[in-house]
């Protein structure tokens, strides 16, 4: 082998080794014990990225004691705190429309010609037709925990930090005496969100799976929402996502027909199930 060829081969080997070392240092798992909870939360927030506007189309499977059925969901998100969810039924009808503008919640049931509306105070949980809704559940379903929660706020409230072989657990007290548990995978994806009642009973649990990049954000493609008390399970699977979609002024306004029955969160309608705390 001539000298020039040998030099070229050595250079290539050095380049491959350098590239391999660089790749290894980028993919090695961080030391969550040495870093501490605040730095881990900050790193997870950076990995989650950011999202301004998002349009999501998904399938929703609902499993309950009465049976199981599939429906279609469209979710529109606008930064920082506007969410609209439309749930369709067979033949293109609409079964439910939900609008959340900051703490303001409005849920419209076209078939019953009734709308439930009010404000969700921090820590408050409202039950609407068997589904427990708090101030974060809609955002978590649409965005996942990484873009729902502020790592700075979480770090200020943190009172539990457990580092396991596969996951890291963060626990936080909430204003109403309940607790929030967030579980982080070693790859910095949030995999579980659980809200506990003051006595320790699980109010709701969400499992997040199959993360992908959408625009500048890393979002779960599948979420499983469980309500143990109601034996109710909702499985949301994303069909497609469009980041920064075009918007119109009417996107976050529900078109309610005349004569609709208006119910306030916390007050069930007479004669049928509705909203109650």
On whether residue 196 sits in a domain, the answer given is yes
Dump pLDDT digits (tens) for 214-267. Answer: 989 999 999 999 999 888 999 999 999 998 888 888 899 999 989 999 988 754
On whether residue 18 sits in a domain, the answer given is no
Residues 202-206 have a mean pLDDT of: 93
On whether residue 76 sits in a domain, the answer given is yes
The side-by-side arrangement of strands in the sheet containing 125-128 is 131-134, 125-128, 275-276
On whether residue 192 sits in a domain, the answer given is yes
Residues 207-213 have a mean pLDDT of: 96
- Asked if pLDDT for residue 275 goes beyond 50, the answer is no
- Asked if pLDDT for residue 75 goes beyond 50, the answer is yes
* Single pTM value for the model: 0.81
On whether residue 26 sits in a domain, the answer given is no
In this predicted structure, what is the pLDDT of residue 76? 95
On whether residue 137 sits in a domain, the answer given is yes
Residue 182 sits in which domain range? 38-261
To the nearest whole number, what is the mean pLDDT of the chain? 83
Q: What is the 3-state secondary structure (H, E, C) of the chain?
A: CCHHHHHHHHHHHHHHHHHHHHHHHHHCCCCHHHHCHHHHHHHHHHHHECCCEEEEEEEEEEEECCEEEEEEEEEEEECCCEEEEEEECHHHCEEEEEEEECCEEEEEECCCCEEEEEECCCCCEEEECCEEEECCHHHHHHHCHHHHCCHHHHHHHCCEEEECCCEEEEEEECCCCCEEEEEEECCCCEEEEEEECCCCCEEEEEEEEEEEEECCEEEEEEEEEEEHHHCEEEEEEEEEEEECCCCCHHHHCCCCCCCCEEEECCCCCCCCCCEEC
On whether residue 6 sits in a domain, the answer given is no
Dump pLDDT digits (tens) for 19-60. Answer: 343 333 335 567 899 999 999 999 999 999 998 899 999 999
Select the highest-mean-pLDDT range: 51-55, 110-114, 237-241, 272-276: 237-241
In this predicted structure, what is the pLDDT of residue 193? 97
CB 59 within 8 A of CB 239: yes
On whether residue 63 sits in a domain, the answer given is yes
C-alpha–C-alpha distance, residues 74 and 141, integer Å: 12
Round the CA-based radius of gyration of the chain to a whole number and report it. 23
In this predicted structure, what is the pLDDT of residue 24? 33
Residues 147-168 have a mean pLDDT of: 94
How many domains would you assign to the chain? 1
In this predicted structure, what is the pLDDT of residue 266? 57
Neighbours of 112 (CB within 10 A): 15
User: Can you give the CATH number for the domain in which 149 is found?
Assistant: 2.50.20.10
């Amino acid at each position: 082998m001539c000298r020039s060829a040998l030099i070229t081969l050595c250079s290539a080997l050095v380049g491959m080794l350098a590239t391999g070392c660089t790749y290894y240092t980028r993919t090695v798992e961080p030391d969550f014990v040495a870093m501490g909870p605040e730095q881990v939360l900050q790193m997870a927030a950076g990995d989650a990225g950011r999202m301004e506007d998002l349009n999501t189309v998904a399938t929703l499977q609902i499993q309950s004691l009465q049976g199981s059925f599939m429906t279609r969901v469209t979710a529109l998100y606008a930064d920082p705190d506007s969410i609209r969810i439309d749930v369709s039924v067979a033949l293109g009808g609409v079964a439910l429309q939900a609008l959340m503008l900051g703490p303001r919640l409005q849920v419209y049931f076209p078939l019953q010609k009734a709308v439930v509306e009010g404000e969700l105070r921090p820590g408050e949980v409202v039950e609407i037709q068997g589904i427990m809704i708090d101030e974060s559940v809609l955002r978590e379903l649409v965005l996942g925990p990484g873009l729902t929660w502020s790592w700075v706020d979480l770090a200020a409230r943190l009172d539990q930090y457990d580092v396991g072989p596969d996951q890291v657990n963060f626990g936080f007290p909430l204003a109403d005496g309940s607790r929030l548990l967030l579980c982080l995978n070693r790859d910095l994806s949030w995999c579980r969100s659980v809200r506990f009642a003051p006595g320790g009973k699980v109010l709701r649990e969400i499992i997040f799976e199959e993360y992908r990049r959408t625009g500048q954000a890393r979002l779960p493609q599948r979420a499983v929402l469980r309500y143990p008390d109601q034996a109710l399970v909702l499985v949301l699977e994303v069909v497609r996502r469009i980041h920064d979609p075009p918007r119109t002024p009417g996107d976050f306004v529900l078109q309610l027909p005349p004569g609709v029955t208006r119910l306030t969160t916390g007050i069930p309608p007479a004669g049928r199930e509705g909203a109650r705390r």
